[in-house]
Structure 1
Amino acid sequence: MRTRTGESVLSRAVRIFEAFTPEEPALTVSQISRRTGLHLATASRLVTELVSHGFLARDADRRVRIGVRLWELGTRASPTLSLRDAAMPFMEGVHDVVGHHVQIGVPEGDEVLFLERLTEPGAIINYTRIAGRLPLHVSSSGLVLLAHGPAELQERILAGPLPAHTRHTITTATVLRSTLAAVRQQGYAYCPGYFHEDALGIAAPVRDVRGDVVAALSVIVPNDAGAVSVVPVVRTAARGISRALAARGARGLPG
């Protein structure tokens, strides 16, 4: 079914879902209307219908958030389940050793999308979160995925812009190209202070049954000299996840 503007009702519903962000998981109908560009009456009608199906939910203060049913359906059908299931025992092992943050991410367009994350109170600062995203050039996971990604993706990112987050962020194509070559050669990414001066990211590739890199296992630890000792832990765990995926016959993940 299409509206008089030619846009389908489904497209409008997708715009409503995309209005929510990790920073603002609950919105008023007026906010949804402004963010989607939908007329207030149209937004209200669609929100009410989506709430009736459980895809959205209303808080006690009438604000709207993503409903449990949408999460249920997405989780049930997600091709990433095999990756998360295979990764979790190894992530828990790494977390026991290093504390701080352990996470796994997959490529999603020009960004890395984080599927799972383990952390603890008092760990070093980390801006990633489950279902959060970061640009490929600023994170250890992103550099691993970019280094093993398609040539057209690499050239698109290399063409820039490459925004800086700290004085250590890679901001030129020349440095990024050499960094990607180093990641492929050494088998991991090592990123001191790329996204925050006090934090250091280490990531290693996770491969599917065909040997293709489909994910990156990473840790975020304090940016100090002791971080280098974590590299073999991350690489060993990433290889373990790869073997677990191969044993399951898992191939390819959304990207």
Structure 2
Amino acid sequence: MPLNTPNQSLQRAMRILFAVGGASDGRSIEQIARRVGLKPNTAGRFVRTMELEKLLVRREGPLRFLIGPAVAELKHLDDTRQLLDVAGRVLVRTQVELVSANFSLAEPEGADSTTRLTVMAARPGVAVLHRAQLHRPYRKASSMLFLAYGTEEGRERFFQKYPFSRDGAALWGTRKRLEVFFEEVVRKGYAQPDFPDEDYYRVAAPVFAPDGRVVAAVGGYFGLEQGPRNRRRLVALTVEAARRITEELR
């Protein structure tokens, strides 16, 4: 195919997005087909593929399709490209200093958090961007760090979505222990939760925006076979990487 020949499948997918965008109640496959000029069966195949990629999301009763989370995620990635560019450079350089370690950048997302970028020991020198995948509540060092530095209102939204008695008690025992952990995180400047069934030694440090808000967290982790010296080194490198990213964002 000549390089200047448009890809019709991509064009149709874009037309479907614009056909669905702005429709508060969504659109049926038949409505999409009429607006885009496709047969219903063909439109259905496009819609199912776009649903798998989270470009569209379905709503039942009656069946309708709306714009999916991947579209907002693309916009978010574009808005935060400076943070991702800076973090990628810093974490690649940091990982070279402790080759057994893995490093990541996480961001808060409402009451949740998600990993946006990783530099893995298995692929040194490569910063990999990730599609949003929410962290498990109460377990990730970065998600606990966001709660520690967050507002009381933000914590309450988290506890409403993920009740402590259901999702957190098995890991933390009591709310009091968790609150003490939050205080220690802010005092020390990093989060290092310790769970009996954990397979990794994990630490997370805050990245601050110019206005003082925590906008991201640098995470570092490796297997529990690593000794005290490397663990101290991991904490120091993670905190330093977060500080360097913060400085470059100013």
Q: TM-score, normalised by structure 1?
A: 0.63
Asked if residue 90 in structure 1 is aligned to residue 99 in structure 2, the reply is no
Q: Which blocks of at least 5 consecutive residues in structure 1 are unaligned?
A: 14-40, 58-63, 124-128, 247-255
1:137-156 correspondence to structure 2 within 5 Å:
137-156=138-157
Shift of 1:46: 5.0
CA contact (8 A) 2:142 2:205 kept: yes
Q: 1:2 to 1:244 in 2, by over 3 A?
A: closer
Q: For residue 190 of structure 1, what is the aligned residue in structure 2?
A: 192
Q: 1:225 to 1:43 in 2, by over 3 A?
A: farther
State how far apart, in whole Å, the 2-side matches of 1:9 and 1:92 are.
43
Shift of 1:202: 0.5
State how far apart, in whole Å, the 2-side matches of 1:72 and 1:164 are.
30
SS at match of 1:90: helix
Q: For residue 26 of structure 2, what is the aligned residue in structure 1?
A: 9
Shift of 1:66: 5.7
CA contact (8 A) 1:204 1:217 kept: yes
Match of 2:180 among 175, 178, 181: 178
Cα distance per residue 1:84-134 (max 9 Å; x no partner): 0111111112211223321001111222111101113399xxxxx652221
Aligned length: 196
SS at match of 1:192: coil
State how far apart, in whole Å, the 2-side matches of 1:42 and 1:109 are.
37
SS at match of 2:132: coil
Q: 1:44 to 1:114 in 2, by over 3 A?
A: farther
State how far apart, in whole Å, the 1-side matches of 2:73 and 2:144 are.
31
State how far apart, in whole Å, the 1-side matches of 2:113 and 2:77 are.
20
State how far apart, in whole Å, the 1-side matches of 2:87 and 2:193 are.
22
Asked if residue 207 in structure 1 is aligned to residue 205 in structure 2, the reply is no
SS at match of 2:248: helix
CA contact (8 A) 2:220 2:235 kept: no
SS at match of 1:133: coil
Shift of 1:236: 0.9
Q: For residue 235 of structure 1, what is the aligned residue in structure 2?
A: 239
Q: Which blocks of at least 5 consecutive residues in structure 2 are unaligned?
A: 1-17, 30-38, 56-69, 125-129
SS at match of 2:79: coil
Shift of 1:45: 3.7
Q: 1:179 to 1:104 in 2, by over 3 A?
A: same
Question: Which one has the bigger helix percentage?
Answer: 2
State how far apart, in whole Å, the 1-side matches of 2:203 and 2:41 are.
43
Structure exhibiting the larger radius of gyration computed from Cα positions: 2
Cα distance per residue 1:184-207 (max 9 Å; x no partner): 11100012347x522011010000
SS at match of 2:193: strand
Q: For residue 219 of structure 2, what is the aligned residue in structure 1?
A: 218
Aligned-pair identity in percent equals 19
CA contact (8 A) 2:205 2:238 kept: yes
CA contact (8 A) 2:112 2:158 kept: no
